[in-house]
Amino acid sequence: MIVSSPPHPLTVGGAIPGGSAPSLGLFLHQTCANASDRPLWFFSCRDKVLRIIPKNEAQLSFLKSMEDMPEIDVWRGVTEVGIPVDIRVPVQHLPVVKVHLQSQDIQHSTMIEDLQVLLDEEQEGMESAARFAEPRNTDSFNYSNYHTLSEIYSFQDMLVAENPRLVSKIVIGQSYQGRALNVLKFSTGGSKRPAIWIDTGIHSREWVTQASGTWFAKKIPALTAILNEMDIFLEIVTNPDGFYYTHSNDRMWRKTRKPNPGSSCVGVDPNRNWDADFGGPGASSDPCSQRYHGPRAHSESEVKSIVDFVKAHGNIKAFISIHSFSQLLLYPYGYTRTPVKDQAELHSLAKKAITDLASMYGTSYRYGSIINIIYQASGGSIDWTYNQGIKYSYAFELRDTGVYGFLLPANQILPTAMETWLALMTIMNHTFKNPY
């Protein structure tokens, strides 16, 4: 069953946006000093995001040992010497974290001084947009703002209604809390034709991905040449329970919302839950970890629904999963250093895709295999899809590189979506022109 709806995240004391309630910013500044006076959603007063650059292997190893500390939230994981690591630290835990770092002579800088300032700005933007009339069609939809789950679902219905011969909505399953797992199918006819899969929002706090996915959905119907021969499937909100929770309770929520028996900690990392060296290095067996892999492979309905769909379809030729942040384009593997047999082609295509992406705004991306570019990670989606025979398996990490992290300002949604679209087109056109 779907959980009961809490008050709208933009309201205070149940008042509707635009009503007589005090302004959001005023409310937050009045109550920030006393967390117990605030709704649960407003949890980040004075939380900081620290940047650490390990200088040697000893520091690197120590930072890896800190990744599952309950006092921190890793935003940008430990990779290699000289590559930044970003962690969110609640203000009450800052002293103990600093002691840990100082014990190894590890220096840090502050990327975000007060996370709540960014949260205020983000929510005030949504609050302002909510005062306007609801869009009547997808042309009037505001693609340059962040949207709630219900608004994205309404957008999907409008897009289907406007393109009845080209776009349909299929429900591939239900989330743990009973929400529909909607997938948009773009097709000119036929069944089980060669197809491309795109998903966004598997990690719920990565809002720029769901926002970009919505913009992609508006663009896809114009891909006449590809759609004459292939289908495209797009799941915009891959983790709807988590996404809903980021709007209602905790903006920084990453995982699913399924309870873990024997633990007070909720949720599984849906990108450590796939049957690709499940439970191996780079995932955690601790239910309280942000990287918790779950009790078994495909334990999460949000994951199993995609697994079942991909297997039943049997003709997916490209699988593209879109995350944020760090500005990366990745291909398998994450769980082993053994190169995939198609590495040369995947690497060449990734290089072309990020070159095309950079042609719009000059945004710089790194590219390569997961394990070589970021870190060892088991149980990831594109490792599983590649092992299922889907050659063109890629994962994006969109903007930025840590100035805003998961709180990318809304004025960067469209630039992010537009430049990413160029890279997507490169991968999709290559898939279309190189059947296998």
**Residue partners of 246: CB distance under 8 A and separation at least 6:** 204, 205, 207, 252, 253
Nearest Cα residue to 45 out of 149, 152, 117: 117
Element (H, E) at 93: none
Burial letters for 318-350: b for 16+ Cβ neighbours within 10 Å, e otherwise? bbbbbbbbbbbbbbbbbbbeeebebeeebbebb
Which is catalytic among the residues 151, 206, 397, 419? 397
Q: Is 302 a known active-site residue?
A: no
Query: In this structure, how many other beta carbons lie within 10 angstroms of the beta carbon of residue 182?
Result: 21
Query: In this structure, how many other beta carbons lie within 10 angstroms of the beta carbon of residue 189?
Result: 10
Q: SS in 3 state form for 202-262?
A: CCCCCHHHHHHHHHHHHHHHHCHHHHCCCEEEEECCCCHHHHHHHHHCCCCCCCCCCECCC
Q: Is the dihedral of CA 209, 427, 180, 267 positive or negative?
A: negative
| Secondary structure class of 361 (helix, strand, coil) | helix
Instruction: Give catalytic residues, as residue numbers.
Output: 397
